[in-house]
Structure 1
Amino acid sequence: MMDLFLSEPSWKDVVDDDSTGSRISLLKDLETVIWSTVGRAESRLWLCNTIAGLNCVTFLDQRHLFQNFLRTRGLKRDFASHLLHFMFDVSPHKLGSVLARRSHVLDKFFEGNPNRVSQWFTCSSSGGGLEQGKGFRALSQFAFKNRDICWEELEWKGKHGQSPAVVATKPHYFLDLDVQQTVENFLENVPEFWSSDEFSESVKDGDIFFIDRSFFLHYFIDLMYKEEFKDVLDVVNEFLMQQPFSSLCGRLLIALDDQDLCYFVESLCKSVGPRMEHQHFNEISNLFVILVFKCGAYGSIDQLLLLNAVTAQGRQVLRLLRDEEAREPKEKINEIMSKISAIPSNPNSLTPIIKNKYKMETIEVVKYLGLLSWLLFYRLSQECRTRECWESVFMNNQISFRNTNEHALPDEDGPLENCSGFDSSSSIRVKRRRKKKARKKRRIYDQNEDSDDEVLNFDSFQSNTRSWLLSTDGYSSAWGSEDLPDYLHRQCLSKWTTWLFEK
């Protein structure tokens, strides 16, 4: 018998016997085995993925959360660097607008660097027309508009220069410019160009960043931390308000060290926890945050990583254990599972842990409950492979269920047979379009019945695709064999932690 401990125990008489100590000792062993299997980098990634999957974080929340890591001068430059790279990739125009208002500083960017000049001030002729790059267009427009102060600075490839009057009628003559020498002349003698509207407009969309990201990265970091220009922080804050929270987490959390990641999780829980406090723990995407928020004292990053692994990433842990190289850890977990299963259980078995007779920190109690729930997940995944096994688990734990099989074959003369389980009063009818689908499948099976190699065991097919409606969620969802271990272990954890925080 597999006891899920879903029935609320009696809180009056808490018996702290040897079985409780044995359970905790075995759960400590389980924690050690999991850490030996799950790498630290992997567990950090899982935590970041859990955080990124939250759907309750407002735009104001996310701006405040990430903004905190930009306020400490010098110490958070790596985080600022990741953020700026992200902005260069998805919204270069935001920082481009900042640069455009300071375009005069770019004379230093081009000075003594022919490669940058050739990349930005290029032009080409194709298809009989003139295709100008942004820098070349700005140069030619400025030169013609301000020909009285800069025309003599234009260098031509031919034996003689072109007059403004000729270029006005034949603008393609600008292709004869010696761009490198002309830009050098402008750097030395035409400072007005670098602060002109024409040049500012050319850099406004941020394409210039891709010529040399490193240069502009350091430039904007200096603006943020040395000169403290408000407009830089304004566009950064606007960007943090507009991006999806999942995208920000995916790109930025990797830049945080363990201490900062722990602080981020704590800040997140404090920010969104109060409005989530009264949500039901069955909200899978928010379960981890609710638990951490209710713990009050958040503990170390190791506790957060482990708690996340066993509550929100149970399938990922199981995936690692199924690897051939994890044979030894898997054997150890099987041994721990057998020993815990052999401990006599009753409705009050978890009471000493939930009532915290060992005076542990709340987050440590939650960690042990999380480990125990994951062990149930592991056992359900390993042992429950048939319809009979699942229905035995339901009945032994007083879970009413309704058996629904979408692939059952219809009778010729009437609707599908009503399927029922522990809740005998229930029935489910399959829609008419499913009948047609089933008839089509039956014809296919009939056509192939003479071939032993191709015959499909339909009873086995039914068993593998069977699903159930359960009383634990008000019969609202159909749960198949693949999803039941994950669902039931979270259901157990939600029950246990509800009792913990209520008592």
Structure 2
Amino acid sequence: MIHLFLSKPNANDKGDSASAEAIIALLHQLGTVVWSIIVSSGAKPEARLWLCKSVSLLTSLSPRDQRDLFRNMLRSESVNVELASQVLQMVFEKRPRLAGSILAKRSHLLEKFFQGNPRRILKWFSNFDAGGGSDHKKGAKALSQFAFINRDICWEELEWKGKHGQSPAMVATKPHYFLDLDVLRTVDNFVEYVPDFWSSSEFAESLKDGEILSLDTKYFVQLFIDLMYKDDSRDVWEAVDDFLMDTSFSSLCNHLLISLQESELLIFLKLLSKSLSLRVENMGLGNSLCWLEIVLSKCKDFASIDQLLLLNMVINQGRQLLRLMQDEECQEEKEKVQDIVLQINNTSSSSSSFAAILEGCLGMRTLDVVKLLGLYSWVNHYVLSKECRTLESWESLFIINGITFRKSGTYPILDHDGIKQEENRSKLDSKSPGAIHLKKKEKRRKKKRRTVGFNDDGSDDDDLFVRDDGQDMQSQTRSWLLSTDGFSAPWTMPDLPEHLAKHCFSLWMKWVFTKQTDVA
């Protein structure tokens, strides 16, 4: 029998303190073994990515707070050029006009960008219209407009591919003649003899949409980094600020945190903790991510991120942790986990010991409380994965633990005693056409059901396709609607251990932290 402890203990029940102390000691041992599995399996970098993913799902920060958070990272004493590079690449990709407008105000800087680089010159200045000539693109449009407006000082610098050049009057009537322009030689002449072009309004206008950034992203990233850190350009920082405020926290984290080293991620989490100041009523205690907001808001300093990596694994990545234990190098630790879990189950068979554990949490540090409850919930995940392998075992678990359930489909909701909460539709008169049709439909359904399978023994399809390990193959796709989430989603057997473990954890966290507030 597996007790999930989904009913809140009586407020006056102090519980079995001796059993509670034994369980707490075992849970500390379990945490040590689990961490050794994460390290020995080489999964720590992956665990760091999972933690970053969990951080990205936080919703407590305002746009202004998230701007300040990432700006402080960019402004930190140990300037993270890689982080700044990632931010700028996001700006170039998602808000190119933001960066383009900055380049337009400094268009003269791009003279060096084109100087002596035929590939860049041809890509930007060769887009002349082959039709009427009125739809030149990018730098070609800037070049043609500037040449006409300033023909007195620069027309002679235009180089043509034919035997003779074209006059302004001729090109004005036939703009497609620009297709005969020797773009490479012309732009080289402008670099050497026409400096006004590079700061002209015509050239600046061609840069505003930010399309030029795609010519050499790496070059422009470095240019903007110099503007940010060497020149401390106010407009560049303001543009970065606007981007950091307008972009979702989730998107920023998913793109930026993966570039951080472990020490830098620790700095980020410390800064994040200073931005969080949650009251219990705003903590979202009903979800499995509440622990992260609580820990970060209450623990303002961390020596390392190892504890957070461990907590995130047991709380949010329980299934992946079970998979890590299948590694051949983790056999010794796997046996230790099995032994510890067995001892915990033998010791915590009653609600009295669990009540004592919750009572003991009231005097613990926040991080220790979360670690204790997180490990305990993962014990449930582990046991459910091992012991509940059939439809019957799951439904028995629901009934024992007071979980109201309904098989996904046409089945009625069952309460924790297994009794139908919803009666069948009112019986039709046996002589009515509707009743006859319904009976025929049921007969066809039963007949069809009996034709499925390899060995027809007249059993229900729930018993078909049993594998060698006793696990029902067909039942893997069977699902239930549960009262644990308000019957909002169907849960299959492979997903149930994780769902119920997270549900347990969320409930326990709510009980402990609301009680801590009441005591305070």
TM class, shorter-length? 0.7 to 0.9
Aligned twin of 2:307: 303
Distance 1:439 1:463, change over 3 A: farther
Find the aligned partners of 2:327 and 2:125 in 1 and give their Cα distance: 55
Aligned twin of 1:230: 234
How far did residue 313 of structure 1 move? 2.0
Letter in 2 for 1:490: K
How far did residue 167 of structure 1 move? 0.9
1:407 aligned onto 2:420:
no
1:151 aligned onto 2:155:
yes
Aligned twin of 2:268: 264
Partners of 1:381 and 1:485 within 8 A in 2: yes
Find the aligned partners of 1:382 and 1:161 in 2 and give their Cα distance: 85
Distance 1:35 1:4, change over 3 A: farther
Partners of 1:20 and 1:349 within 8 A in 2: no
Find the aligned partners of 2:334 and 2:446 in 1 and give their Cα distance: 40
Distance 1:372 1:101, change over 3 A: same
Q: Counterparts in 2 of 1:312-461, with a 5 A limit?
A: 312-321=316-325, 329-343=333-347, 345-350=349-354, 354=358, 361-396=365-400, 399-408=401-410, 419-422=414-417, 424=419, 426-427=421-422, 443=444, 446=447, 449=450, 453=454, 457-460=460-463
Secondary structure of 1:160's aligned partner: coil
How far did residue 377 of structure 1 move? 0.9
Letter in 1 for 2:9: E
Partners of 1:406 and 1:430 within 8 A in 2: no
Aligned twin of 1:486: 498
Secondary structure of 1:404's aligned partner: strand
Letter in 1 for 2:321: V
Aligned twin of 2:2: 2
Aligned twin of 2:254: 250
What CA RMSD, in Å, does the superposition of the two structures yield over aligned residues? 3.7
Secondary structure of 1:427's aligned partner: coil
Secondary structure of 2:353's aligned partner: coil
Letter in 2 for 1:85: Q
How far did residue 34 of structure 1 move? 4.0
How far did residue 208 of structure 1 move? 1.5
Q: Counterparts in 2 of 1:36-185, with a 5 A limit?
A: 36-37=40-41, 39-72=43-76, 75-123=79-127, 126=130, 132-185=136-189
Distance 1:430 1:334, change over 3 A: farther
Partners of 2:450 and 2:461 within 8 A in 1: no
How far did residue 429 of structure 1 move? 6.4
Partners of 1:44 and 1:305 within 8 A in 2: yes
Find the aligned partners of 1:131 and 1:190 in 2 and give their Cα distance: 24
How far did residue 441 of structure 1 move? 9.9
Find the aligned partners of 2:93 and 2:412 in 1 and give their Cα distance: 57
Secondary structure of 1:401's aligned partner: coil
Higher mean C-alpha deviation, range 373-382 or range 344-353: 344-353
How far did residue 178 of structure 1 move? 1.6
1:469 aligned onto 2:469:
no
Distance 1:323 1:108, change over 3 A: same
Distance 1:359 1:29, change over 3 A: farther
Partners of 2:132 and 2:174 within 8 A in 1: no
The one-character-per-residue Cα deviations of 1:215-235 (angstroms, maximum 9, x if unpaired) are 211111111111111111111
Secondary structure of 1:2's aligned partner: coil
Higher mean C-alpha deviation, range 166-175 or range 253-262: 253-262
The one-character-per-residue Cα deviations of 1:22-41 (angstroms, maximum 9, x if unpaired) are 44334433332344346111
1:497 aligned onto 2:509:
yes
Distance 1:268 1:277, change over 3 A: farther
Partners of 1:147 and 1:164 within 8 A in 2: yes
1:207 corresponds, among 211, 220, 224, to: 211
Partners of 1:378 and 1:485 within 8 A in 2: yes
Letter in 1 for 2:505: L
TM-score, structure 1 as length reference: 0.84
Distance 1:131 1:476, change over 3 A: closer
Secondary structure of 1:75's aligned partner: coil
1:11 corresponds, among 11, 14, 17, to: 14
Query: Alignment identity in percent?
Result: 43
Higher mean C-alpha deviation, range 183-192 or range 347-356: 347-356
Secondary structure of 1:132's aligned partner: coil
Distance 1:225 1:457, change over 3 A: same
Letter in 2 for 1:427: E
Find the aligned partners of 1:100 and 1:249 in 2 and give their Cα distance: 30
Higher mean C-alpha deviation, range 28-37 or range 78-87: 28-37
How far did residue 497 of structure 1 move? 3.4
Aligned twin of 2:433: none
Partners of 2:450 and 2:460 within 8 A in 1: no
Partners of 1:281 and 1:290 within 8 A in 2: no
Letter in 2 for 1:458: D
How far did residue 179 of structure 1 move? 1.3
Partners of 1:466 and 1:481 within 8 A in 2: yes
Partners of 1:314 and 1:486 within 8 A in 2: yes
Partners of 1:299 and 1:363 within 8 A in 2: no
Letter in 1 for 2:462: D
The one-character-per-residue Cα deviations of 1:294-349 (angstroms, maximum 9, x if unpaired) are 45655520011111111122233234445677666544433332233233543343
Secondary structure of 2:351's aligned partner: coil
Aligned twin of 2:470: none
How far did residue 207 of structure 1 move? 1.7
Letter in 1 for 2:227: L
Higher mean C-alpha deviation, range 258-267 or range 228-237: 258-267
Higher mean C-alpha deviation, range 34-43 or range 349-358: 349-358
Letter in 1 for 2:402: S
Find the aligned partners of 2:28 and 2:448 in 1 and give their Cα distance: 58
Aligned twin of 1:220: 224
Partners of 2:314 and 2:378 within 8 A in 1: yes
Secondary structure of 1:227's aligned partner: coil
Give the number of equivalent residue pairs: 490
How far did residue 360 of structure 1 move? 6.7
Find the aligned partners of 1:142 and 1:203 in 2 and give their Cα distance: 14
How far did residue 420 of structure 1 move? 4.3
Aligned twin of 1:413: none
Aligned twin of 2:28: 24
